[in-house]
Amino acid sequence: MQSQEIARRWIEFFTSKDHTAVPSASLVSSDPSLLFTVAGMVPFIPYLTAREEAPYDRAVSVQKCIRTGDIEEVGKTARHGTFFQMCGNFSFGNYFKTEAIGFAWELLTSSISDGGYGLDKNRLWVTVYLDDDEAAALWQQIAGLPAERIQRMGKKDNYWHTGQPGPGGPCSEIYYDRGPAYGPDGGPAVDDVRYIEIWNLVFMQYQLSAVRSKEDFDVAGELPKKNIDTGLGLERLALILQGVENFYETDQVRPVLDAAAAISGKEYTSAETAADPHHTDDVRMRVVADHIRSALMLISDGVTPSNEGRGYVLRRLIRRAVRAMRLLGVERACLPELLPASRDAMKGVYPQVEADFERIARIAYAEEKSFLRTIASGTARMEEAVTESKAAGTSLSGAEAFALHDTYGFPIDLTLEMAEEAGLAVDEAGFRSLMLEQRQRAQADARGKKSGHADLSVFNELLAGGQTIFTGYDELDGESRVRAILSGGRKVAHAATGDEIEIVLAQTPFYAEAGGQAADTGLLTGDGFIAEVLDVQRPVKGLSVHKAIVREGEMPADAMVRAAVDRQRRHAAEQAHTGTHIVHAALHQILGPEALQRGSFNKAGYLRFDFSWGEGLSSATRSEIEEVSNIAIRNNYRVDTNVMALADAKALGATALFGENYGSDVRVVEIDGAWSRELCGGTHVASTSLIGSLTLLGDQSVGSGNRRVEAFVGMDAFRHLAAERALVTELSDMLNVPSNLLPERLATTLNKLKTAEKELERLRKDQLAAEAATLVGTARFLAGVQVIAHDGGAVGGADDLRTLALDLRNRLGSAAAVVAVAGVANGRPMVLVATNEAARAAGVKAGMLVKLAAGILGGGGGGKDDVAQGGGSDPAQVPAALAAVVGAIQQRS
């Protein structure tokens, strides 16, 4: 049974059971604590946790999901993948355990001709929570399962909660027995490879008051409404119904795997054990198949490669796939062959991947091309690091390996491979330590961001009393009532001078940060107190929370206040926000509709705008964007806002930010009608001339396929231009030319500088040649070898020593010769030894002599038998180091 048919039967079965079919949400999660939609229940969290009223009692979906926590295991097991589809059925206070178990058993075991999946009842096992006697009894009553095929598990395996105070409950998992060829008998409690989990039924029935860990929490009581949340892994069921070994061989994944095999010339064998010689190549092909599909679906949902967040995950997936192909022996670009195979496998269920393939392919191919360049540039840096490490006589440091990874995107396995080829060890433990530190910083940052919204109970309680009314579209000051004062996440009765607090008002003119627009600041004044508003956020939809500090007096929790927004700062922010819309329209006019918005931020006097574009903007293009923007400002276009139904806004052609969630009614901002028409909840000037002017600061890459432009507006634009004018005036005065002749004079000056540098380089080489001609006469015969040991004093660097040593070696002819030259550059001593073929035949090797000399200098070194280099930390030891080289040669006799 094909994956598309599995999904179709799922939806049809549950709609026949009065469930509302809900389309898959984007992989880009609307939950601020999640990068991606990681489970089928994520879009339903507001309903399951009662933050919002569910629009239906029962729902069914086939949800796209991404998880990368076990990315290192991809390809090694039958069930680890980054992209997967979760089939789910949900009840919001409607049905509970009896119906959930009945539905699951009916769908799994009904014959294919009756619309079911036709699984053998005798191969199905279930697990239930230790204390869930009710579920165990229902499985026996409804499914007729014998007691020995119902296994009880602990909280670690069969209890669900969010990790925060809130709903939770036991779960029951359904397993399929793949047979004795896959492992020992005894059910899922014994072996979860033979017995593969296909469906999890979560019985959400308790209110948890405290959650200390997965297995340590307090139950406050039962929920007033019990919910059902289930998830069946489509890929896991597909591997069973299609009779394949693992999900990489199912119909939506196997075509990419076959393409990887064809391109690499490798044979895919379905090898499952590491002892199998084919196992490594099989794992690599599975990695390619999984990661290419995940990249296809992520780009389809608007994610583009970058160095942070979702974009970093996408970049890592593409680069791991390219790296896997490289390890399979393919060093050329191969996504143009792999990605279409994934498109054709997925388009039946997700037709948008075909409709949008041109954009998807452009982004993916550009990233692959960029990574291939990364490998090239990283290789150059890697070779430098190897040379430096050998010269110092050390292994490649963990810091260097980390820099190669972090700066160049160089995979550690590639670093290890190349270092081994060069005969150099790598401080892998140091690298892993630095990687761990980076992950811990990222996790701490993520926790820090999440902690602001971790326990939303107090905000949900306030929201239940009514939403905050925003009056800031029409007024910048007004009377309001304080609904609550919070300190440390708890309500307090009052706040005194110096207290940093959060304030919830009944209504507010303060704009809460949203849509890329920074929050308002200002003052709250009342009877005997003044509080300064520093920031405004919305931890839950519909509730504005003012972060403030009490500057004077004592503020009670039920006070009446005069809320006054900083008018100048708001106006400057409105200039910037309207300027953002203008820049967006200018980009569309000049670059075309493919310049899709990928994010923006605007605050008083400043804006930045991210958009999809694969290459840098020329200075002429930037000038044209700036000109179009300022013409729109000069033409004094009206800025109109209208609230309308989302469907009507789309019919008008209003531009929406991909991945943003919009309600049924939206706010449409128009600049000169259709010239710019966008969905936007921000605040704006009434007409474009109020912006004053706009000055672009340039553009930069923010990840492969994405660019960022920045600009100043209003007085900030004027100040920027004034500063640039002052700089031009200063340069004109320094060079004593009019400003219009500055480019010509600077070009002339730079050319003269380059000519002088070339002449200095020529003179330096002549000086070294003359020095070599003199030094060749100082050669001594020691133990049958010509030896020159020269202290060059202060030198320009290692290149000078190398040039001198090789010149001297050539001048000494074919008889056995050794040249050792040393010097001090930037306060650090270095030594270089060169030997000719005859000397090496006599057993004199440069690497051995350099290690001896570098050790005396307080460092290390190494290299090949013909040329080797080393360094140290004690310049005073240069004569002793050279003497040691001479002594070592003499001792040969």
Give start and end residues of each alpha helix (H) in 187-308.
234-241, 254-264, 279-300
Is the distance from CB of 829 to CB of 864 less than 8 angstroms?
no
Contact between 278 and 66 under an 8 Å Cβ cutoff? The reply is no
Question: For residues 784 and 843, what is the distance between their CA atoms, to the nearest angstrom?
Answer: 12
Quick check: is 737 in a domain?
no
171 annotated as ligand-binding: no
Alpha helices by DSSP H, 119-202: 133-138, 155-158
Same domain, 207 and 316: no
Q: Are residues 780 and 689 in the same domain?
A: no
Domain boundary among the residues 245, 260, 277 is at 245
* Contact present, 91 and 55 (Cβ < 8 Å): no
**DSSP E strands: which ranges in 312-386?**
none
Whether 347 maps to a domain, the answer reads: yes
Rounded distance between C-alpha atoms, residue 653 and residue 502, angstroms: 39
Write down which residue in 723, 746, 763 finishes a domain.
723
Burial of 498 per CB tally in 10 Å (0-12, 13-18, 19+)? exposed
The pLDDT value given to residue 443? 53
> Distance between CA atoms of 668 and 565, rounded to whole angstroms?
24
CATH number of the domain that residue 463 is part of: 2.40.30.130
* pLDDT at residue 442 in the model: 56
Q: Is residue 404 located within the same domain as residue 428?
A: yes
- The residue ranges of the chain whose pLDDT is under 70 are 31-33, 78-79, 271-278, 307, 409, 411, 413, 417, 421, 439-455, 657-662, 703-705, 893
- The whole-angstrom separation of Cα 583 and Cα 587 is 6
Same domain as 228, residue 95? yes
DSSP character for 139? I
Question: Is residue 758 a part of any domain in this protein?
Answer: no
The distance of Cα 324 from the centroid of its chain, to the nearest Å, equals: 20
Tell whether residue 680 is among the known ligand binding residues. yes
Q: Is 3 helix (H, G, I), strand (E, B) or coil?
A: helix
C-alpha to C-alpha distance for 635 and 289, rounded to whole angstroms: 53
Q: Which residues contact 777 (CB under 8 A, 6 or more apart)?
A: none
Q: Which two tokens stand for residue 318?
A: 């593409």
272 with 408, same domain: the answer is yes
Token pair recorded at residue 543: 């509730």
pLDDT at 449: 41
pTM above 0.75, yes or no: no
**Measured distance CA(1)–CA(121) in Å, rounded:** 18
User: Is residue 767 in a domain?
Assistant: no
* Full domain range(s) for residue 300: 252-449
DSSP conformation class of 395: P
How far apart are alpha carbons 818 and 832 in whole angstroms?
11
- Confidence at residue 451, expressed as pLDDT on a 0 to 100 scale: 37
- Flag whether 740 is in a domain: no
Output phi, psi for 328, to 5 deg.
-85, 0
Burial label for 69, CB within 10 Å (0-12, 13-18, 19+), is exposed
Structurally, how many domains does the chain consist of?
Answer: 5
